[in-house]
Amino acid sequence: MSKTQKAEKSDKIDNIVGMLMEYEKMTIDLMRKATDTPILDQYDLNAPYAKARIVKEDGQTKYQIAEVQLADEERKKLKEIGELLIEELDVDIKKLGTNENAATYVRKLVEKIIKNYKIKVTPDSLDRLMYYIVRDFIHFDKIDPMMRDPWIEDISCNGQGIPIYIWHRKYESIPTNVIFQTAEELDKFILKLSYMSGRAISIAQPVLDATLPDGSRVQMTYEKEVTRRGSTFTIRKFRERPLTVSDLCIYNTLGAEMAAWFWYIIEKQASVVLVGGTASGRLQPSTL
């Protein structure tokens, strides 16, 4: 081996060692940051695959979704299976009825694809892959954990590259760690929401108000026809158990006399006009 070759080999080794040292430093910094970040609250959303963490980071309260992690090889298989699944799907998912029926159908089709195309996947890995496949194809993609959180009332995305904000019943308006990184990714999600609502959105009709299958209301804009930062959406979730008159009295939202008056005029089928500013609670009495 010549001196030049030895020098080149030595330089490569030095570069590799330098990269490893840099990676180790970055890992230590991330671990230290994770340790230094106080967790204010933590609870399961879709156990054992997803949980919510409320943390205090840089003096700001933030909402973080922690999902089961995939290795690089698993991510490649997830992409491969997803592409094959799109080719193999021969039925409208909405026609399968409930989400449970659709999820069962997709799981069986994925198992068939893995067998036919001889994709090597361990049982543990398949379990993790199934979570992401069902999440993305049947449910609400990367915001699905938030849609399962009973503490969240509103979910708002104001464009690509911007953290999604939520309104949390306990912590109010806080940013999340969920971001649509590209315009293409966000546009596809808007089209998915419109499909789920049974309505259409396009460049010709770039604004849509609709209702999602779970009863949540959604307002969407498409591409840059309305907003400068591209597509946007706001989802207003509804409680699993609607508030009753008794709840409103307990929370001091309504006094006993006003509640009795509402009760009386509703019984008499009288017409009522509710007037108030934004977020003043106009809608709640009308749902009693």
Q: Where are the domains of the chain?
A: 1-36, 72-139, 143-236, 245-286
The residue type of 217 is R
Burial grade of 187 (CB within 10 A; 0-12, 13-18, 19 or more): middle
60-79 burial string, b = 16+ CB within 10 Å, else e?
ebbbbbebeebeeebeebbe
Tell me the pLDDT tens digit for each residue of 227-283.
988 999 999 997 777 778 888 888 888 888 988 888 888 888 888 888 877 666 666
- Cα Rg of the chain (Å, integer): 25
- The Cα–Cα gap between 34 and 66 comes to 13
Residue 110 has φ and ψ, to the nearest 5°, of -65, -45
* pTM for the full predicted model: 0.76
What order do you get walking across the sheet with 232-236 strand by strand?
172-175, 165-168, 152-157, 232-236, 217-221, 207-211
Residue of 176, 282, 170, 182 whose CA lies nearest to 235? 176
Give percent of the chain with pLDDT exceeding 90: 60
In the prediction, which pLDDT does 4 show? 58
In the prediction, which pLDDT does 172 show? 92
In the prediction, which pLDDT does 242 show? 74
- The Cα–Cα gap between 179 and 137 comes to 19
State the architecture of 143-236 in CATH terms: 2-Layer Sandwich (3.30)
Token pair 């949540």 is at which residue? 216
- The Cα–Cα gap between 112 and 89 comes to 12
Q: pLDDT band for position 189 (50/70/90)?
A: very high
Mean pLDDT across the stretch 43-55? 95
Q: pLDDT band for position 18 (50/70/90)?
A: low
